[in-house]
Every structure is written in structure tokens, then in C-alpha cells.
Chains A and B, each alone.
Chain A
Amino acid sequence: MSHPVVPSDTTTPTGGRIFHPKAAEPAPVTVVGKQAWLKNNLFSSPLNSAITLVLLALLGSFIPALADWLFISAHISGQTQDACTGDGACWVFIKVWIQPLMYGNYPDASLWRVNLSLILLGAVLSSPYWLPPKLRNKVDIMLLLAFPFMAIIILDGRLLGLEYVSTAYWGGFSLNLFLASASIILGMPLGFLWALGRRSNMPMARSICVVLIEFFRGVPVLALFFMGSVMLPLFFPEGTNVDKLLRVWIVLTLFMAGYMAEVYRGGFQAIPSGQYEASAAIGLSYWQTTLLVILPQVIKVSMPNILATSVMLFKNTTFLMIIGIFEILSTAQNALTNSNWLGGFSTEAYLFVAVIYWICCFSMSMVATRIERKLDTSHKS
């Protein structure tokens, strides 16, 4: 095995000759450019080509028909169902019903109160981005916890001396948003308490928390709503009458708490025991350790799951339709049974609701991904 080693850079100097580097050739078309991209990503093998062609054929067959129904033959002008003739979608239906779909039957003159609450919700949720860093931690949590009550006060109006608007008039998509955010906000701390109880070494507290968590996780949310709407009134003393929306809120909060407790449990498991030992070593009490050392880490670790659970709860607010609360989906169904709109617009109605939900949930999951990336301070290999 003795090959002569030939150094690659041995050149014999040739006097007077100047070295002209050749102009760089463009990369071969098989590596860059559209053609190469197509080849590498769509037609890299016979199987891949076949899959690509089948998928393209499928897309090509239904996209034009869909676009025609959605836009080209669709109707948008007019105020009654008579404006909709022909085959296209009838967006007149959505146009006429848009206010109930978004705001329920909240009185026209007071709509600003719903809008104010929505703006408040936006402001509270985005507060980590605009609050000065010094204030952030405490004010943030206070704002969050105060939001459901502020919203109720504004919407209800009695405490502020505004016109009283009973919960029977609240509805539409704003109600979905309020109910979901209010129960998420209150369910998070409650779930944390339950998760703590589950980890506690007091047997009674532990078993009570386990029962609570497993009950609210193991039972269909529809059954919970049903209990809230039909059975809870039987649990209260005779003659007391708790508002239906409040009952639903309680149910949703407990439901959220059960799921959050499970999410936190995963978070707790990720905290190294050294953290507890170190806090004990510097003399922190149980609550100091829990709130100042453990809680922030647990939240950080479980943030993606917290957001995923929140999205799930938000989607579940459509189930309220089944117990007769006028959130967006039941408002749509109610509109479909109105005797002036009996022309069968269910596709338009459900599509509208689906698109609204999709936009909200998709942006929530985008935010989740962003936060996940931002919070990810672990060492990546």
C-alpha cells in the first residue's frame, strides 16, 4: 500500500503567463432554479411523481367549482332571501345576520360596551408586550384575574349606573370569546391549586384533588354542560336562581381547571428536585418556594400545553349550542329556523362560523409556536 503522494498544488512556474480564472459557471439546472426545485421536491422518484400528479388532479377538480360557489356566482347585495337566486353562495344571509352572530341581541345603543370589553380583552392579553418590564409580573396577573369581573361589570352595567342588560341578551361570537377567556383565566389558578393538592403529602387533600381532576377530565364536556344547565338548579336551595350563563361559566372553569391540573402535573415532573432543595436551603417557606421558584418554571415548561388546552376550551364553547345558549353556532341555527329565512342556508352559516373559528384558533396556535420558541432556553444540540 504505497502510493506515491502527489501534492495537488505543485505547479511549475511558467514565466510571463498570467493566470485567468474562468468565470464562474451557473449552478447546474439540476441543483437550483425552478426546474430543479420541481424535480427534487415533486418528482424525485416515480412514486413521488405519481403522488404529485394525483394530488394536483384532485386539487384541480374541486378548486374551480369551490371558487365559483364561494365568489363568482355568490350573492351579496340585497336584504332578504329573495335576493339569492341561482346556485352560488348566499352571503346576504350572513350580511343580514352579522350583528346577532357577533354580538347576540345586545342593545344597539350599548354595543360600545361589548366592543370596549373586547378591546380590554385584547389589551389584557397583549399586556406583556406593552407594559414596562418593571411592572409586568404583578400588574399582568392582576389585570388577567380582574378581566372577567371587569367585563361582567361593563356588560351587565348596573354597577356603573349604565342601562342594565340581562345575560339573556348577551350572545354571538363575543360571548364565545368572553366565556372562553373568563374560564381560562380563572381555571388556570384553580387548576394550579388542584395540581398542588395532588402533589401534597396530606392524604385527604390529595384524594379530594385527584377525584376532582379525574372527574372533570374523564367526563364528556357535553355531559358537564348538561349538568350545569339541568341539574345544578336542583343542587341550590329551593327558590335560588343562579343565572344560566353563570352556571355555564362555573362548569367551564372547573373543566378547564381539571385539564390545567393535568398540564401542570407534567410541568411539575420536569422540575428537578434540586430546585426544591435549593429553595429550602435558602430558607424559603412552602408558599414562597411554590410561588416564586416552582410556579414560574412550571408555567414556562407547560406553556405549549396551556395554550393547546385553551384552544380546545375555546372550540368547546360551540357545544353550548346543545343547551340553548345563543353563542355563535346556536345563533346561526336560530337564524336558519327563522320563517323569513327558510331557504336552506346552512352551508353558508356553518362555513362562516368555521372560518371565524379557524382564524382565531390558527392564530392562537401560531402564538403558541412563537412563545414556545421564545421560551425555549434549553440547550439545543
Chain B
Amino acid sequence: MTNGTRPTQPAGSAPAFYNNPRFRALFYQLLLVIGIGYLVFLIISNTLANMESRGIQTGFDFLSTTAGFDILMTLVDYDATHTYFDTFIVGLLNTILVGAIGIVLSTIIGFLMGVAYFSSNWLVQRLSVVYVEIFRNIPLLLQIFFWYFAVLAALPSARNSYSLGDAFFLNIRGLYLPKLISEPGAGLVYGSIVAAIIGIFALYRWAKRKQELEGVQLPVLRLSLALLIGLPLLATLLSGIPFTLDYPQLKGFNFRGGITVIPELMALAVALSIYTGAFIAEAVRAGIQAVPHGQTEAARSIGLKDSQIMKLIVVPQAMRVIVPMLNSEYQSLVKNSTLATAIGYPDLFTVFVGTSLNQTGQAIEIVFMTLAVYFAINMTISFTMNWFNSKVSLAERK
């Protein structure tokens, strides 16, 4: 694989063709391609021969046959009469759900704990260190067991639930919330939410221009919050409150109605967030430490307040270090969510690679579909974070 040129080549005489770096590169690559190609061919032919001789079915026909089993939690309409393809969709949505919750929660926990490391309160600073060192160094599988079998199992039974105003209930079967049912006229409210979001973007751009031109800072955060809450509230009142609430009620063995957050989801989301949060806290700490102290001192000397220093000086610079690390942490979080199978949260791995595979026995098709999905999710995260990263690093060069 030599592609450096030899300096001792006597002038005038052309090098032998086998010493020509371009020829060599070509030759080695050819060799590599042939080798890999042969290996792939061998694997495929072996697999086909094995499946043939063992009478294993192939193909994707199984996707349209009836699955015949039920799933604990489905975000779309599903029951035992649906097909295996539907189980795939159900699992995929559940994976995305737990991944999204985990990413949000772990970011919050991680940033809080990472900043807590710089707290002036000794106990808080120690707490941050102890948190990181404990949760980073224990296998995630054990932590999932801990949250599910030790913590959540201590909740009361359905009949003795903790309740909040007969609308919210928490027991071992899960967290029950009232469900919002929209009636005619709710469209206006949804429209107002969209309008508020668009308004916030406009406000943000306008405030930025105003600051660049006139040096005036607007309280953007407060204004956007007011927009986001005020506009829909106004719309709701104007259209005569077009919503009814479906409260959960204890009927028979369980609560019916409302929204149920199953404890498997809670345990998995908590375990994933706390575990990943420890790594994010570490990243945040490293990021903040990477900002030279002179920055803080300089900021202080031009009269910025402590909160302003954090917001305007330290965090934007720390983000350059933090964001690439966040990228890989988010990806591991999604990959680690496959451990759902240990406590029976019906994610893609549990439902599709677990039950569906057991029923159909078509390991190759199912595993490849699953791998492709995780790959796609991680690529999406990676692209998003890289885009975000380019945003934060551009800010630095201005």
C-alpha cells in the first residue's frame, strides 16, 4: 500500500511498473475487492445452501400474514388480527418514542448535573461527581432492572393509587393522565399553536437584526413563551373551549380511559436518561472546562453579570466541544434502548426481533430490517447534530 514516492530514484530511468505507486494502489485494491467479493459470495452461497437444506423459508411474504399476538403498548391501532408488518410499525414507533423521551430527559439531566459540578455548594458539587461516577460505571442492564424491579415495584396497587385531584393517578400499573378530546372548533386552537411557532421564529429573526443594528436586546425568551401560551389560550377562549377531558377511572381490575404511561416505558426512559445523562454531564463539564478562564475574566471585566457570562460567553464556546459528544451519546441511547427486551417494553427489538422472529423463524429478513431501522435512526441523529454543530461552530468564527 505504498503511495509515498521514493526519493532515491535515479533521474532519467523510469521506475519498474511494480514500483509505480498508482499501479500498486490499483493492484492492492483489486486484491481487496476480489477478496471481499469472494467472502461475500461465500457467505451468501453458504447461507442459501444452509437454508435450502434446512428447509428454512425465505422472502418477505410473512410480513402480510396475521401476527396473532397482542402488544402491551401501541401508538397506532393494533390488535392480534393485524399483520407482522404492523408489529414492525408498532415496535418502530415505540422505539422512536422512548428514544425521543430519553434524548430530551438525558439532555436536561446531563446539563443540570454538568453545571452542578461548578456549583459553589460543596454538597451539590459532590452530588454531581457521585452521580456521574455511580451511573457511568454500572452496566445499563442492571440499572434498568433496578428502576423497574426495585423502584417502580414499590408503587401502590391500582386500588391505592396516588392521585392528584381525581385526574392524575400513579400506581404500579402506570401513570394515568386525562386525555384531551377535541371537538369541532379545535382546529382554530391548533392553528393558533402553529401561528405562535411561526411568530416565534419571526420574532427571533427580528430581535437578532434589531440587536445587530441598534444593539438593543429584547427579552426573546419571555416574549416567545408569552406567544406560545397566550395565543392558543386566547383561541381556546374565543372558540368556546372546544375540548373535553377523558378522565381515567378505576373499573374492574384497572383504570380505563385517559392516557396510560406504562411503567415499562417509565423505567426504561428513566434508566436510559440517567445513564446517558451521566455521560452528557461529563461532556458538559469537559466542555465548560475547555473554555479558557481568561474568557470569564474578560467578560467580568467588561461588566457582564454571572448569568450573562454563562449564557453569552461560556456556553456558546463550550457547545463546540459538547455537541459532537452529544451526537454519539444520543446514538448510543437509541442503540441501548434495545435493552427494553429485558423488561418487556414493546420496542422494535422486543416485538419484532423477539416475538415476531420466534413465530416466523425468519431470522435473516427480520434482523436485517431491524438493523436497517437502527442505522437509519442513527444517521438521522448524526445529520441533525452535524447540522447543529456547523451552526455552533460558525458562531465561533464570527
Instruction: Give A residues with C-beta under 8 Å from B.
Output: 40-42, 44, 48, 51-52, 55-56, 200-205, 208, 214-215, 217-223, 226-227, 230-231, 233-238, 280, 283-287, 289, 311, 315-316, 318-319, 321-322, 329, 346-347, 350, 353-354, 357-358, 361-362, 365, 381
Assembled-state Cα–Cα distance A229/B82 (Å): 30
Q: In chain A, what residue has the closest Cβ to B342?
A: A322
**Contact between chains at B140 and A218 (CB < 8 Å):** no
Query: Of A44, A234, A365, which one neighbours B120 at CB under 8 angstroms?
Result: A44
Assembled-state Cα–Cα distance A365/B4 (Å): 40
Identify 17 new A-B residue pairs, CB closer than 8 A, beyond the known A44-B120, A354-B142: A42-B121, A201-B3, A218-B378, A219-B335, A219-B371, A220-B336, A223-B370, A226-B353, A226-B367, A234-B51, A238-B53, A280-B4, A285-B4, A322-B341, A354-B146, A357-B137, A361-B138
Give 1 or 0 for each of B1-17: 1 = CB within 8 Å of chain A CB. 11110011000000000
Give 1 or 0 for each of B42-53: 1 = CB within 8 Å of chain A CB. 010011011101
Assembled-state Cα–Cα distance A329/B139 (Å): 10
A43 smallest CB distance to B (angstroms): 9
Number of interface residues of B (CB under 8 A): 58
**Contact between chains at B49 and A220 (CB < 8 Å):** no
Q: In chain A, what residue has the closest Cβ to B292?
A: A381
Q: Given that A226-B353, A357-B139 are known contacts, is A218 also in contact with B375, CB under 8 Å in the complex?
A: yes
Query: Of A52, A222, A357, which one neighbours B341 at CB under 8 angstroms?
Result: A222
A329 smallest CB distance to B (angstroms): 7
A-B contact count (CB 8 A): 154
Assembled-state Cα–Cα distance A357/B51 (Å): 40
**Contact between chains at B335 and A235 (CB < 8 Å):** no
Q: Is B180 an interface residue (CB 8 A)?
A: no
Assembled-state Cα–Cα distance A221/B349 (Å): 12
Assembled-state Cα–Cα distance A311/B278 (Å): 14
Give 1 or 0 for each of B35-63: 1 = CB within 8 Å of chain A CB. 01000000100110111010000000000
Q: Is B374 an interface residue (CB 8 A)?
A: yes
**Contact between chains at B139 and A318 (CB < 8 Å):** yes
A23 smallest CB distance to B (angstroms): 32
**Contact between chains at B127 and A55 (CB < 8 Å):** yes
Instruction: Show 27 A/B contacts (Cβ-Cβ < 8 Å), sorted by A.
Output: A42-B123, A44-B120, A51-B123, A202-B3, A202-B29, A205-B28, A214-B375, A219-B371, A223-B338, A223-B353, A223-B370, A234-B47, A280-B4, A283-B7, A287-B1, A315-B137, A315-B139, A315-B140, A329-B139, A329-B142, A346-B149, A350-B142, A353-B139, A353-B142, A354-B139, A358-B134, A361-B138
Task: List the B side residues contacting A315 at CB < 8 Å.
Answer: 137-140
Task: List the A side residues contacting B75 at CB < 8 Å.
Answer: none
**Contact between chains at A354 and B46 (CB < 8 Å):** no
**Contact between chains at A231 and B33 (CB < 8 Å):** no
Assembled-state Cα–Cα distance A280/B2 (Å): 12
Q: Given that A202-B25, A358-B134 are known contacts, is A52 also in contact with B121, CB under 8 Å in the complex?
A: yes
Query: Of B36, B127, B339, which one neighbours A319 at CB under 8 angstroms?
Result: B339
Task: List the B side residues contacting A55 at CB < 8 Å.
Answer: 123-124, 127
Q: Is B273 an interface residue (CB 8 A)?
A: no
Q: Is B145 an interface residue (CB 8 A)?
A: yes
Q: In chain B, what residue has the closest Cβ to A284?
A: B4
Task: List the A side residues contacting B294 at CB < 8 Å.
Answer: 381
A36 smallest CB distance to B (angstroms): 12
Q: In chain B, what residue has the closest Cβ to A317?
A: B139
Assembled-state Cα–Cα distance A375/B389 (Å): 29
Give 1 or 0 for each of B91-124: 1 = CB within 8 Å of chain A CB. 0000000000000000000000000000011111
B289 smallest CB distance to A (angstroms): 12
